[in-house]
Copies of this chain bind each other. A is one copy, B any other.
Amino acid sequence: MSALPGGIIPALLTPVDSRGDILRDHLVSLLEYTLDCGVSGFYVGGSTGECFLMSVSQRKEVLSIASETVSGRVPLIAHIGAQNVDDSFYLAEEAHALGYSAISAVTPYYYGFSFQEVFSYYQELCQISQLPMVMYFIPALTGRTFTSQEIARLAAIPGLEGIKFTDGDLFKLERLRGQLPDFVIYSGYDELLLPSLSLGVNGAIGSTYNVTAPLVIALWESFREGDLARAGHLQRELNTIIEMLVGNNLYPTLKDLLARRGLGGGLCRRPFLPLTASQKEESARIDTHITRVISSLG
């Protein structure tokens, strides 16, 4: 049985100011808010956290703030993947020192690494770290996919205990689930949570959960209780929200929504741009919509 957490796990946003510096207070507010909503853990410093747009010291700062704030209330997963492997190794050590429950690393991207190179990368990370590893599989952004057989070979690396499966290929998800009953699989596309649950995922890590936690937790619980009609209804509500968010520049809008809730929110690091005036107006509409949906949950 893996020590990795199940349930709904936000991929934590990282609020920054206009210079790109981390806004500690805003980050703390976001953590407290989502903890209050009942999330089961946090995925800290991932894509959604803009890790690739930051310096290593900023990434360490984010890991540190999250671990201090959460202070053991829920398990934390530290994303430590970096193009420069020295950074990955450094952040893996920091995550351990900071009391994280697990580490995670995106599959190496940009260069077309061979499977053997990817395998060695994870093997080395798992060897140096005492924490369980969650591989982060997101072929739409890395440009690199793996077959279910290849993922199964990676899953055999001691310490590689789970996957954040951010892919729309649910046949592949089912094959993994079938082959690897003890492997921890996180659904990574928020819009596919219900069908992924029907295939037996252990949890879900997503960016939109920063602002939709009550809704998605209700979805999760409806599924657990066997109320598929309600789960389907809630997935529908979530997907309508996701369509609105994606149509309005996702990450800056998510932060704008946090600001509207009094949680600070902040900006994104460049090259992301702040919302335009019309995007701000749309964000206000999205905020009203989400509030209405969440308050109707009962």
Which residues of A approach B to under 8 Å, CB–CB?
Answer: 20, 47, 52-55, 83-87, 108-114, 116-118, 120-121, 124, 141-143, 168-171, 174-175, 177-178, 189, 191-192, 194-200, 226, 228, 231-232, 235-236, 239-240, 243, 249, 269-273
Contact = CB atoms under 8 A, between A and B. Distances in A.
A121 B271 contact: yes
A147 to B, nearest CB: 11
A264 B86 CA distance: 24
Contacts of A197: 198
Contact of A271 (B118, B142, B143, B177): B118
Contact of A249 (B114, B189, B239): B114
A83 B271 CA distance: 9
- Which 10 A-B pairs give the minimum distances between C-beta atoms? A195-B195, A198-B198, A121-B271, A178-B236, A171-B191, A117-B271, A52-B83, A85-B270, A108-B271, A143-B143
Of residues A110, A175, A178, which shows the largest number of chain B Cβ atoms within 10 Å of its Cβ? A110
A120 B52 contact: no
Nearest to A198: B198
Of residues A84, A87, A191, which shows the largest number of chain B Cβ atoms within 10 Å of its Cβ? A84
A93 to B, nearest CB: 16
Contacts of A235: 174, 199
A148 to B, nearest CB: 9
Nearest to A106: B110
B113 A110 contact: no
Nearest to A272: B117
10 contacts: A20-B86, A47-B110, A52-B83, A53-B84, A84-B269, A118-B271, A170-B170, A171-B189, A178-B239, A195-B195
Contacts of A192: 170-171
B198 A84 contact: no
A191 B168 contact: no
Nearest to A194: B198
Nearest to A269: B85
Contacts of A108: 271
Nearest to A237: B178
A174 B240 CA distance: 10
A53 B117 CA distance: 14
Contacts of A142: 110
Given A117-B272, A177-B236, A226-B226, 4 more contacts: A168-B171, A198-B198, A198-B228, A198-B232
A113 B226 contact: no
B195 A271 contact: no
Contacts of A118: 271
Contacts of A270: 85, 120-121, 124
